Amino acid sequence: MAAEMEPPPLGDAGQTDFREIEDGEGFFVSTVTILESPEPSSPDPPSMPAEGISTNGPKQEDISLDDDPEDLFAEATEEVSLDSPEREPILSDGPSPAITPVTPTAMLTPRMGLGTAEMFERSLDELEEDESGDTFDMHIAVSDPEKVGDGMNAYMGYKVTTKTSMTIFSKNETTVRRRFSDFLGLHSKLASRYLHIGYIVPPAPEKSIVGMTKVKVGKEDLSSAEFVEKRRSALERYLMRTVKHPILLKDPDVMMFLESSELPRAVSTQALSGAGILRMVNKAADAVNKMTIKMNESDAWFEEKHQQFENLDLQLRKLHASVECLVCHRKELSVNTASFAKSAAMLGNSEDHTALSRALSQLAEVEEKIDQLHQDQAYADFYLFSELLGDYVRLITAVKGVFDHRMKTWSKWQDTQLLLQKKREAESKLQFANKPDKLQQAQDEIKELEGKVQQGEKDFELISKTIRKEVSRFEKERVKDFKVVIIKYLESLVQTQQQLIKYWEAFLPEAKAIA
């Protein structure tokens, strides 16, 4: 599939400075410092498809540069500063799903004498520093929900505004209109492309039949307004998370989504479409597979991380439930305070002692303001704290999905290996049976399978590597995210308390004035 790619001029390869390669199929675009030219040497493993691959340090035989050189960076050569701080390595990813992924540079550089992983990471750090010329500077806002159309075919259109100074985008500021199914379509494309090779693709906000039906029907009440606001905010967070991922950012679908004014309608996201049903079947198959695959975990890191994420998942779900409870109770408090305020006002009216009557009316006013305060606090509780937790619960599901994909890859590899073994046995039997044509066939098959096995192994290693990086990036993001949001949330609590002080201090002289 990728073979149709136009290879970039290989003459560029010789430069020692920054090169940018771009191709239209969602391949990773990066700036990279290459210290030697990638050689268009013949591909080593026979099964390597015509995909671009890594450039590497000189004399790397197993690299093959192809028609589409895909720029993988990471060469740590001596010139590269190796003491760059530990940062998230940016990994290039393989091509679209239909093709088996390409072995990355990570496999290479044994001659450096360093462990491939560390080298890789360090060189990637170096890369990131280079990349700081084009630092992550993007802001996406989702706003202006507008109902388009009428009746059951109506939908909400959202305005998506992208402000950025990054050079990969054609304009500094773009505005497009999108609908919810567009977002879902984007996510499904990204998921099909990246999930199975180990990238954590942020999940899209969930469909909600009840909510949307209310909107479609045109019910203009508080709950549907809240629903639209909730969705808008969720879509904004979804987009921000997606573009924060350096690889997903460069995906042409993402860029198309953000920039082009018209998008093809993503019909496959509908629940009852063919694609939808296929999805459901796949989900069921996956669930069964998960139970039957028993993987020999050779890497303790994965075991540990898997367990960690399971625990985190449980805890976050519990926390989420508690916070939802809090939101609910705070809303209740607001309602009860409002009703008390009304009744205090009536009490003040019927009180015949003038000063006390005035004080009671003031009390009613204070309580009314306080009820508004509680309502605002409930919104902050929800949009800051509760939604953060909800997002991370879904993200962790994506992470677990990625771990599952690794398991699947492993199992595929093992299956291929078993098949190879069987074929070998069959071949040895055939040797004694003396059937030359069948023998030849068997030998061909074996050669093919051997290639496949190697491929499977490489895939497995690749996905493991990718996951390691992704997880570390994820953790860093998580730390940042939580910190920022929690500070915001605490500040909202502080503000509420400040307002409370103000209101009660205003009331105090009134109360003292009762004679």
Partner 1 sequence: MYLLWDSWCGVCFQKLANIDLQHTICTFLLYIYIFYITIMTSTIDDSDKEKALSVSVDLNNDTSLLIDIPDALCERDKVKFTVHTKTTLSSFQKPDFSVPRQHEDFIWLHDALVETEDYAGLIIPPAPPKPDFESPREKMHKLGEGEATMTKEEYTKMKQELEAEYLAVFKKTVQVHEVFLQRLSSHPVLSKDRNFQIFLEYDQDLSVRRKNAKETFGSFFKNMVKSADEVIISGIKEVDDFFEQEKTFLLDYSSKIKDSTARAEKMTRSHKNIADDYIHISSTLSSVSVDDNTALKKHFEKLSDLFEKLRKVEGRVASDQELKLTELLRYYMRDIQAAKDLLYRRARTLADYENSNKALGKARLKSKDVAAAEEQQQQCLQRFNKLSESGKRELTSFKGRRVVAFRKNLIEMAELEIKHAKNNMSLLQDCIELFKSS
Burial 499-513 (b: 16+ CB within 10 A, else e): beeebeeebeebeee
Please list every residue from 354 through 373 that binds partner 1, using CB under 8 A.
355-356, 359-360, 363
Number of chain positions touching partner 1 (CB under 8 A): 54
Nearest to 11 by CA among 34, 38, 29: 38
- Could you give the 3-state DSSP secondary structure of residue 138? strand
Q: Which of 267, 287, 418, 501 binds partner 1 (CB under 8 A)?
A: 501
Is residue 505 a contact residue for partner 1 (CB under 8 A)? yes
For residue 485, state whether it binds partner 1 (rule: CB under 8 A): no
- Nearer to partner 1 by C-beta: 5 or 359? 359
**How far is it, in rounded angstroms, from Cα 275 to Cα 279?**
6
Distance from C-alpha of 109 to C-alpha of 132, rounded to nearest angstrom: 25
379 binds partner 1, rule: CB under 8 A: no
Taking the least distance from each CB to partner 1, the nearer of 112 and 511 is: 511
d(CA 398, CA 394): 6
Closer residue to partner 1, CB minimum distance, 129 or 477: 477
CB of 472 to partner 1, least distance (A): 10
Nearest Cα neighbor of 169 from 84, 232, 72, 260 is 260
Least distance in Å: CB of 340 to partner 1? 4
Please select the residue that binds partner 1; options are 160, 201, 243, 344, rule is CB under 8 A.
344
Contact of 500 with 414, CB cutoff 8 Å? no
Binding pattern to partner 1, positions 301-320, x when CB under 8 A? -------x--xx--xx-xx-
From residue 422 to residue 461, the character string flagging contacts with partner 1 as x (rule: CB under 8 A) and all else as - is ----------------------------------------
Question: Residue 168: CA atoms inside 13 Å, Cβ hemisphere, count?
Answer: 29
| Per CB under 8 A, 330 contacts partner 1 | yes
Which of 331, 439, 410 is closest to 376 using CA atoms?
331
- Applying CB under 8 A, among 285, 325, 429, 440 the residue interacting with partner 1 is 325
Q: Smaller CB distance to partner 1: residue 279 or 306?
A: 306
Q: Which residues pair with 20 in a beta bridge?
A: 31
- In the complex with partner 1, the residue whose CB is nearer, 19 or 468, is 468
Residue 326 contacts partner 1 per CB under 8 A:
yes
The residue among 81 and 307 lying less far from partner 1, judged by its C-beta, is 307
- What is the full DSSP assignment across 36-48? SPPP-PPPSSTT-
Residue by residue, DSSP assigns 343-371 as: HHHHHHHH--SHHHHHHHHHHHHHHHHHH
Alpha-carbon dihedral angle through residues 349, 350, 354, 356, given to the nearest 10 degrees: -90
**Of these, 347, 419, 426, 439, which contacts partner 1 (CB under 8 A)?**
347
380 binds partner 1 (CB under 8 A): no
Smallest gap from residue 121 Cβ to partner 1 (A): 18
Q: How far is the CB of 84 from partner 1 (least distance, A)?
A: 20
* 477 scored as a contact of partner 1 (CB under 8 A): no
The total number of residues shown for the chain amounts to: 515
Stretch that binds partner 1, among 166-174, 189-197, 329-337, 461-469 (CB under 8 A): 329-337
Interface residue with partner 1 among 340, 426, 439, 450 (CB under 8 A) is 340
**Is beta strand 138-148 parallel, antiparallel or unpaired with respect to 19-20?**
unpaired
Would you count residue 508 as binding partner 1 (CB under 8 A)? yes
Instruction: Give the C-alpha separation, 433 to 428, whole Å.
Output: 9
The rounded distance, in Å, linking the Cα atoms of 251 and 142 is 20
Are the CB atoms for 183 and 452 separated by under 8 Å?
Answer: no
**327: nearest Cα among 387, 385, 381, 371:** 381
- Greatest Cα pair distance, the chain, in angstroms, is 118
Which parts of this chain interact with partner 1 (CB under 8 A)? 308, 311-312, 315-316, 318-319, 322-323, 325-326, 329-330, 332-333, 336-337, 339-340, 343-344, 346-347, 350-353, 355-356, 359-360, 363, 475, 478-479, 482-483, 486-487, 490-491, 493-494, 497-498, 500-501, 504-505, 507-508, 511-512, 514
